[in-house]
A and B are shown apart, each in its own frame.
Chain A
Amino acid sequence: MSMYFTKDHEWIKVDGDTGVVGITAYAQHALGDIVYVEVPESGRELRLGGDAAVVESVKAASEVYSPVSGTVTAGNAVLADQPALVNESPEDQAWFFKLTLSNPTELEGLMDRAAYDEYVAGLE
């Protein structure tokens, strides 16, 4: 399984044509206490860079964009009741949605962990 990152601080773990998407530890820290999460329903078609989910802190709402194009196979229902899980386990338990990639070559436009860490370091 490979993990890729976007400049908007989403991550995607990919196994074959199946992907799992969430937001990074950096993103949850920047947002602060997460109080609401809205994930996409199964069957929804997502486009690369298109709106996919919503995450809200006490202060503000932020869009989560899909790192790749594909069809949603599951949304993480746990996050509706436990939005704070995004703060606690952003890159593991608090995944937002799973999808079937329609164009795996899109992954070539994403960063690997080393590149993302370097990118984040440059933001601080």
Chain B
Amino acid sequence: MSDTALLTTPLDALHRELGAKMVAFAGYAMPVQYPLGVLGEHLHTRKSAGLFDVSHMGQVTIEADDPAALLETLVPGDVQGLAVGRTRYSVFTNDAGGILDDLMISKLSPTKLFLVVNAACKDADFAHMAAALAGKATVTRLDGRALMALQGPKAAAVMAKLAPGAEAQGFMSIAEYAVAGIPCLVTRSGYTGEDGFEISVANAEAEKLARALLAAEGVAPIGLGARDSLRLEAGLCLYGSDIDTATTPVEARLNWIIGKRRREQGGFPGAAIIQKQLAEGAPRLRVGIKPDGRAPARAHTQITDVDGTPLGEITSGGFGPSADGPVAMGYVPAGFAVPGMPVKLVVRGKALDAHVALLPFVPHSYHKG
């Protein structure tokens, strides 16, 4: 495979130095695993701390007199109700109520929002925002900034040494402070189900910061392979797999991201459809699926009822190292979205026993505070 056409992150040389196996992902050369391997990296993150390069993701600021009100025309989340210094998960919807991307929104000040969007969607997201907010807000791509995530139960202790006080930062909050003497923009968040931090830093300082974090006790570099198994066990959606333009937030069971005021007032793309589903229920729902045996069921595996009638598809599936068995998510008709409901998964032509399961597969360990 040739890497010549791929973009690279500011940590590219470091990944190669660490022995990463690099793959193409969303147009970038990214580390899928390091010599520790996907299984070891996954387990290390759950018991210690892992450092993830997520610099391929899009960072953007929106500045205006009232950027929250403007952004609310594109997302169903309550952005106006978000306090300064707080972070919230949301989605961009389209006129059909489908999901264009999922994202994190942080309020830096009453006149400035900071967003993090998916790598594969970022060009479309930027164009979407620029078009919708033209003349009303200044939308700025932060292409000069890298992003890394420090995740796991030891993440707070590691941060405390490099940035005293960071350990007290509230869950889903944002703050600007120096980490290892380097100016950073830090949220207490992540996408593994563990406590952790996402750290935005100038490209030129990224490698220095990554080396400082990796030098801390208990920190290992973690690739995209473990990032995927960690978020799957945590029941978190992967855009393009579990959510896309053909799924609504209600179908994806992301109702909690739609603020009470927004449910009543609407005013976001696809509001009529989403409000109707909130009131009457969606025809199908995202659920956890636990195969009864040891065979993993991968994305696009057909889900049937016990008599073989098709119900839907697995959207993410694989082996969960912490769950110590296969785990999956998929969509089934609402009547089947009941924990314990027996279903079948058609794997290599065989109908394997499975059941609908509560998400997450591994309990979240977010910072309480």
Would A58 and B229 be within 8 Å (CB), given that A33-B37, A33-B39, A36-B319 are in contact? Answer: yes
Are the CB atoms of A32 and B38 closer together than 8 Å? yes
User: Of residues 285 to 299 in B, which have CB atoms within 8 Å of A's CB atoms?
Assistant: 294-296, 298
| B residues near A58, Cβ cutoff 8 Å | 38-39, 42, 225-226, 229, 318-319, 321
Interface residues on A, range: 10 to 19
Closest to A83 in B: B294
Tell me, in angstroms, the Cα distance from A57 to B298 when the chains sit together: 11
Closest to A60 in B: B298
Tell me, in angstroms, the Cα distance from A58 to B318 when the chains sit together: 6
Number of A-B contacts (CB under 8 A): 45
Tell me, in angstroms, the Cα distance from A98 to B319 when the chains sit together: 27
Closest to B298 in A: A61
Could you name 5 residue pairs across A and B whose Cβ atoms are closer than 8 Å? A32-B39, A36-B295, A58-B229, A60-B298, A61-B296
- Chain A nearest Cβ from B68, distance in angstroms: 40
Tell me, in angstroms, the Cα distance from A60 to B321 when the chains sit together: 14
Are the CB atoms of A59 and B225 closer together than 8 Å? yes
Interface residues of B (CB under 8 A from A): 32-33, 37-40, 42, 225-226, 228-229, 294-296, 298, 318-319, 321, 326, 348
- Chain B nearest Cβ from A76, distance in angstroms: 15
User: Of residues 29 to 59 in A, which have CB atoms within 8 Å of B's CB atoms?
Assistant: 32-33, 35-36, 38, 54, 56-59
| A residues near B39, Cβ cutoff 8 Å | 32-33, 35, 58
Tell me, in angstroms, the Cα distance from A35 to B32 when the chains sit together: 17
| B residues near A56, Cβ cutoff 8 Å | 295-296, 319
| A residues near B42, Cβ cutoff 8 Å | 58
Interface residues of A (CB under 8 A from B): 32-33, 35-36, 38, 54, 56-61, 80, 83
Are the CB atoms of A80 and B294 closer together than 8 Å? yes
Tell me, in angstroms, the Cα distance from A32 to B225 when the chains sit together: 11
Are the CB atoms of B295 and A38 closer together than 8 Å? yes
Tell me, in angstroms, the Cα distance from A18 to B290 when the chains sit together: 39
- Chain A nearest Cβ from B70, distance in angstroms: 40
Are the CB atoms of A54 and B348 closer together than 8 Å? yes
Tell me, in angstroms, the Cα distance from A83 to B319 when the chains sit together: 12
| A residues near B32, Cβ cutoff 8 Å | 59
Are the CB atoms of B38 and A57 closer together than 8 Å? yes
- Chain B nearest Cβ from A40, distance in angstroms: 12
- Chain B nearest Cβ from A26, distance in angstroms: 14
- Chain B nearest Cβ from A69, distance in angstroms: 21
Across the interface, A33 reaches (CB within 8 A) one of B38, B296, B298, namely B38
Would A36 and B225 be within 8 Å (CB), given that A54-B348, A58-B318, A58-B319 are in contact? Answer: no
| B residues near A57, Cβ cutoff 8 Å | 38, 319
Closest to A63 in B: B348
Tell me, in angstroms, the Cα distance from A57 to B321 when the chains sit together: 11
| A residues near B226, Cβ cutoff 8 Å | 58
* Central interface residue in B226, B228, B348, by most chain A CB within 10 Å: B348
- Chain A nearest Cβ from B61, distance in angstroms: 35
